[in-house]
Structure 1
Amino acid sequence: SLETALRAHPSPDHRFVLQHCQLADSAQLRRMKALGLCANFFANHHFYWGDAHHDQTVGPDRAERMNPCRSAQDIGVPYTIHSDAPVTPLGPLHVAWCAVNRRTASGRLLGAHERIPVADALRAITLGAAWTLHLDGEIGSIECGKRADFAVLEDDPFEVAPEALKDVGVWGTVHGGRIFAAGAA
């Protein structure tokens, strides 16, 4: 187990990440916190398979707590969120929208208590992801000394309604300080 391995070979800043971590409960999240583990939640599950999970695979109670971003945050477990591409389409703003709104394809709200604010979802797909990879000194936020790699959005994600987050367009990117318009060759 990770607990045994960490006892035998302590590493204070290991940032080991449990991928998906879809059905972690509060007790498991507290244990993760104690071990210094991170979580990478598959937030798109709500949209793409939330109805099936609710009705057929895990049942209503567990579907309500799938991908517990809010609980992880409240307990102090560092986390990021992902699309699991190519399992679902690559789209960080859609992933963030899923964590913020927790809506299924049919519109069902799954686990309102696990929703997170837009700012926290954007942090999870940027600096949160970089932190789990030990790359937070290089990427994940726009700061002096870091790589000049970032997306340029068509709208301010803090100004649009949370329900519209997935519809914010990407004007282009800046990579290595060079500007690339979306769709440009």
Structure 2
Amino acid sequence: MDCHCNGDEASGLFVDAVELLQRESPRFDHRHTVQHCQLATADQYRRMAALGLCVNLFSNHLYYYGDQHYEVTVGPERAERMNACASAKRAGVPFSVHSDAPVTPLAPLHTAWSAVNRVTASDRVLGEDERISVDEALRTITVDAAYLLGMDDEVGTIEAGKRADFAVLEDDPTAVDPAALRDVPVWGTVMGGEPFPAATE
């Protein structure tokens, strides 16, 4: 079950509901997921971890709407902790990141770049201590995303017994400057074991 929760109050209500249900009828490895989870607090992440909840963080929001949130809607303090990947990691909450397409463009490397750099459109850094590494960000859009979807036995890593579906990059994303992660060229894809070069236009 996924629940759309942007604000910390919405996240808190969902956590309360899951806690009640887990007391009444415990269920393990349920992978219930808080979608967006943009303003959750450190305490809420700790409670999520204890309940086995997952989060799918809208990291693209930092770039596309971070300035507006900082200046107008939620203010500097809350904007600094938006989409808190590092807090989720510290609490032990399984998490992935997403673009919420078509709200922001579907571009997985940009989405990972947003989680790594936490830079807004005006080049403001929002919550430097919530940054994650390139390796961690690449996991969030591959194996961790597959885990949240309950599909980690089919996709998410390249190994025998799983679908031969993956992207082929022209550079090693772990070898480039983290600020250049979103600019790594995509050669193409492999689907069902068949290579498909990217369109040249």
Deviations 1:101-125 (A, max 9, x none): 0000000000000000000000000
1:113-152 alignment to 2 at 5 Å? 113-152=129-168
Deviation at 1:2, TM superposition (A): 1.4
Q: Does 1:97 align with 2:113?
A: yes
Q: Is the partner of 1:138 in helix, strand or coil?
A: coil
Aligned to 2:104: 88
Match of 2:65 among 37, 40, 49: 49
- The CA deviation at 1:11 is 1.6
Deviation at 1:160, TM superposition (A): 0.7
Give the counterpart letter for 2:54 in structure 1.
Answer: C
CA distance, structure 1, for counterparts of residue 152 and residue 124 of structure 2: 35
Partner in structure 1 of residue 18 of structure 2: 2
- Give how far 1:7 is off: 2.3
Structural RMSD (CA): 0.9
The aligned residue for residue 67 of structure 1 is 83
Instruction: State TM-score, norm by structure 1.
Output: 0.97
Instruction: Using the TM superposition, give the Cα deviation of residue 159 of structure 1 relative to its aligned residue in structure 2, in angstroms.
Output: 0.8
Q: CA deviation at 1:32?
A: 0.4
Partners of 1:169 and 1:89 in 2: how far apart? 17
For 2:94, the equivalent position in structure 1 comes to 78
Residue type matched to 2:40 in 1? A
Aligned to 1:53, the other structure's residue is in SS state helix
Bigger relative contact order, structure 1 or 2 (CA pairs below 8 A, ≥6 apart): 1
Q: Does 1:110 align with 2:126?
A: yes
1:97 positional shift = 0.2
Aligned to 1:27: 43
Query: Stretches of 4+ moved more than 4 A in 1?
Result: none
Match of 1:156 in 2: 172
Count of residues in correspondence between the two structures: 184
1:177 aligned to which of 178, 188, 193: 193
2:53 maps to which of 2, 14, 37: 37
Q: 1:58 aligns with which of 71, 74, 78?
A: 74
Partners of 1:68 and 1:42 in 2: CA distance: 10
Structure 1: gaps of 5 or more residues: none
In structure 2, distance between residues paired with 1:77 and 1:6: 17
AA matched with 1:153: L
For 1:101 and 1:117, locate their aligned partners in 2 and report how far apart those are by CA, in whole Å: 9
